[in-house]
Amino acid sequence: MTAAKTTSAAVLVVDDDEVMRDLLRRVLERSGFAVTTASDGRDGVESLKHHDVDVTITDIAMPVMDGIEMIRSLIAERPNIRIIAVSGVDDWDNHLNTARRLGAKAVLRKPVSGAELVSTVQRVLKAAG
């Protein structure tokens, strides 16, 4: 039995780990999402100037601009943006709680399963719809 395809909502995946970024992209694309990627928060903010996305998924611990800084910047510009924060750092609970307080619609702890990722994106999309 294959997973049902979703509507072609657009997702931006921001993660400095190329392997993780590619994995998240492939999982989401297999579920029918159109995916754009960025390698850090600054690239993510820049990407959103050129791509219309429905959900942004961001890692927290990244060089150049971390996920917390990126969330602050995006929420300041687009208060209704849908962000999912992901973290695998030792102090993940503190970082993810900060992300939620800043406006992330959902938080996930790495490693995240493909099913959990897709269901979280779908839930965030439905909640905003």
Record the tokens describing residue 79, joined without a space.
């208060």
Residues facing 34 on adjacent strands:
10
DSSP-derived letter for residue 88 is -
In which order are the strands placed within the sheet that holds 83-87?
34-38, 10-14, 55-59, 83-87, 106-109
Query: Is residue 3 in a domain?
Result: no
What pLDDT does 94 receive? 86
Q: What does pTM read for this prediction?
A: 0.91
Query: Is residue 59 in a domain?
Result: yes
Residues facing 87 on adjacent strands:
109
Record the tokens describing residue 128, joined without a space.
């905003």
What pLDDT does 2 receive? 41
Residue ranges in the chain modelled with pLDDT below 50:
1-6
The CATH number covering residue 99 comes to 3.40.50.2300
The tally of domains found in the chain comes to 1
Query: Is residue 55 in a domain?
Result: yes
Query: Is residue 51 in a domain?
Result: yes
